[in-house]
Amino acid sequence: MAIFRMSPPFLAGTNRVTIQMLQVIFAMIPAIAAMVYFFGPAVLINISLALTVALLAEAILLKLRKRPVKPFITDGSAAVTAILLAVAIPPLSPWWLTVTGVLFAIVFAKHLYGGLGYNPFNPAMIGYVLLLVSFPLEMTTWLPVDSLTETPLDLHSAFQLIFYGQTNAGWVADTVSGATPLDTMKTQIGQSIAPAYIVNQNLFGSLGGLGWEWINIWFAVGGLYLLYRRVISWHVPVAMIGTMFVLSGVTYLFAPEITGSPLFHLLSGGTMIGAFFIATDPVSGSTTVKGRLVFGAGVGALTYIIRVWGGYPDGVAFAVLLMNMLAPLIDYYTQPKVYGATK
């Protein structure tokens, strides 16, 4: 019998990382469109700036590390990091804030650890926390819902505010910025949180803040798409959202005057982007099935604790980074039994 030998691989495979990253970006498009609708074109300027800086930094670091540039710069990981960071910071952030955060995320949080697959912390959240701790005023100054104001910012005005700090009409960023619903919860303890964000008693806005509800809903829709495409598993999002819902529900029953309702916490801030796009990072998160449930529950609990009793309005970034530190320990104690083992 003749035996024919062929050298594998028989077919050229595709880069699975690239495919997954492109699907993540695709899943964020509806939420980004909602952000542009509610907060104006400044969102697109931030994303474009972040993408440019991230790709340039990625290429330079790959060259310095003597790694092939094309395979890594086209895998989409740097682009995902840039977009996640860009949508997490206020739309009218000065250009240097975005550049600083992206550079720190790509250079220090990613490449100094060895590049994609070796970073113990989520790069986008490392960059976000650096900015939040170093520049708290700039990082907590958000636009009001731009689509409902009498004089919404156009692209040119947004560009001037981001790169020059003021427009030809004399506007400065501080005059067109406002507090977020989570900021209001922090500063107006004992008062009703939702009414300041309701317009004409419209249903949307009464639960999580006008604009923020739609943004979180569309991030959730994008997350469901990722679940359908099996880019992520259900364990982390369900554990994080479920834990936040239970904790906020219990505390709301006993102290509604100092804490928001469960729906308020699920539809405000970075809950849904955190649950579906950040905490599900396969590199910095837990890898076992039970571990993902523990990891997600930990992120949800810490996020809620920081929001209600901590010093920052939103706690998603801090919660993710703290659980990143615990991921190896969680994996160690949640490893499935080896087949045939008695203990």
Which sequence spans correspond to the domains of the chain?
41-142+144-177, 181-332
Q: Rounded distance, CA 92 to CA 155, Å?
A: 12
C-alpha distances out from residue 210 to 145, 147, 271, Å: 7, 11, 15
d(CA 300, CA 189): 22
| SS3 category, 305 | helix
CB count within 10 Å of CB 329 equals 12
The residue whose two tokens read 């086209």 is: 74
Structure tokens at 143: 């636009």
Q: Record the pTM.
A: 0.87
Digit-by-digit pLDDT tens for the chain (343 residues) are 444 444 445 444 455 888 999 999 999 999 999 999 988 899 999 999 999 999 999 999 999 999 998 888 989 999 999 999 999 999 888 999 999 999 999 999 999 999 888 999 999 999 999 999 999 888 877 776 655 555 567 888 888 888 887 766 555 655 555 667 777 766 665 444 444 443 333 444 556 667 888 999 999 999 999 999 999 999 999 999 999 999 999 999 888 777 788 998 999 889 999 999 999 999 999 999 999 999 999 999 999 999 988 888 889 999 999 999 999 999 999 988 766 666 5
Query: What DSSP designation does 204 have?
Result: T
